């Protein structure tokens, strides 16, 4: 009975752990997940890349969609880390049509694909060399905001009986915690 209970609890705990979305899974053991490593390596040295970031622009072409992404480091579960500064930009091409309303500027995304050289473009008036990725998998993330309230009001009437009546005054503070889901 104890073993069954332990196995059940362990199964529930492991189910709650974050895992990589199916669209970002790769069989390649030498997959690169660091932007700096990808950009500073020889093109033939890297066969597959998994990166994340913030969508800067989206352009639907005739047969594919061009995503310009501002890179953010990703965790093992593929989620971009919103608590660090961006470190460069890259372009991901996705076959077919992607709706620009759903994949709007400012949304978080992770992509999986094969490197395909560089292309020159502009960021404002600045001439920029974008590393290019032909994406075969991608996942759109959401930022979840949780409000934590620190309710520590002062009480005018301390509770001294079964039927307490409290009149609270004083400041209430709190903060917002953001997480990627």
108 lies in some domain: yes
Tens of pLDDT, residues 28-68: 999 999 999 999 998 889 999 999 999 999 999 999 999 99
CA–CA separation, 142 and 179 (whole Å): 8
CATH number for the domain harbouring residue 53: 2.40.50.140
Tens of pLDDT, residues 74-131: 999 999 999 999 999 999 999 999 999 999 999 999 999 999 999 999 999 999 999 9
Domain that holds residue 163: 145-180
Contacts of 45 (CB under 8 A, 6+ apart): none
- The reply to whether 128 and 165 lie within a common domain is no
152 lies in some domain: yes
5 lies in some domain: no
39 lies in some domain: yes
């Amino acid at each position: 009975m104890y073993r069954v209970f332990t196995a059940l609890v362990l199964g529930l705990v492991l189910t709650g752990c974050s895992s990589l979305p199916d669209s970002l899974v790769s069989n390649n053991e030498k997959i690169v997940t660091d932007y700096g490593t990808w950009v500073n390596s020889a093109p033939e040295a890297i066969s597959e890349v998994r990166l994340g970031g913030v969508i800067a622009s989206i352009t639907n072409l005739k047969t594919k969609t061009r995503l310009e992404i501002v890179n953010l480091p990703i965790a093992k579960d593929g989620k971009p880390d919103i608590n660090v500064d961006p470190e460069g930009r890259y372009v991901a091409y996705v076959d077919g049509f992607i709706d620009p309303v759903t994949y709007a500027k400012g949304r978080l995304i992770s992509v999986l694909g094969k490197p395909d050289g560089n292309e020159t473009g502009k960021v404002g008036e600045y001439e920029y060399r974008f590393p290019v990725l032909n994406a075969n998998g991608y996942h759109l993330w959401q930022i979840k905001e949780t409000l934590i309230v620190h309710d520590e009001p002062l009480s005018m009437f301390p509770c001294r009986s079964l039927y307490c009546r409290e009149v609270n005054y004083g400041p209430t503070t709190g903060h917002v915690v953001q997480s990627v889901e």
